[in-house]
Amino acid sequence: MGKPSKEYYSAAIESMNLTPEDVVMIGDDINSDIGGAQRNNMRGLLVRTGKYRPSDENHPKVTPDAIVNNLADAVDQILAHKHSNGIQ
């Protein structure tokens, strides 16, 4: 069991007592991280670090919900989205 299997994502979500809609996957692998998350009803933010390649931004099958430069930018995006939706 591992990414991008549904069981992998489901186990992580259940362990936090959340729903897929409550979770954002931040990752550098367009297929396993972002694609796997989106296939499991989660949002996926692609970071331009690690496994990331510029061609990932035009992937033929996976479109990230956002593309950010690093983890700090990902957190800023999530917090901005959270506050713009009135979530505390």
Omega of the bond prior to 4 within 30 degrees of 0, cis? yes
pLDDT > 60? residue 87: no
Domain limits, the chain: 6-84
Question: How confident is the model at residue 81, as a pLDDT?
Answer: 80
Q: Are 28 and 50 in contact (CB under 8 A)?
A: yes
Question: How confident is the model at residue 82, as a pLDDT?
Answer: 72
pLDDT tens, residue by residue, 24-79: 999 999 999 999 999 999 999 999 999 999 999 999 999 999 999 999 999 998 88
Fold (CATH) for 6-84: Rossmann fold (3.40.50)
By CB neighbour count within 10 A (0-12 exposed, 13-18 middle, 19+ buried), where does 63 fall?
Answer: middle
Alpha carbons 82 and 1: distance in angstroms, whole number: 31
16 φ, ψ (degrees, to nearest 5): -100, 0
* pLDDT-derived band at 83, boundaries 50, 70, 90: low
Q: Report the half-sphere exposure of 32 (CA within 13 A, side-chain side).
A: 9
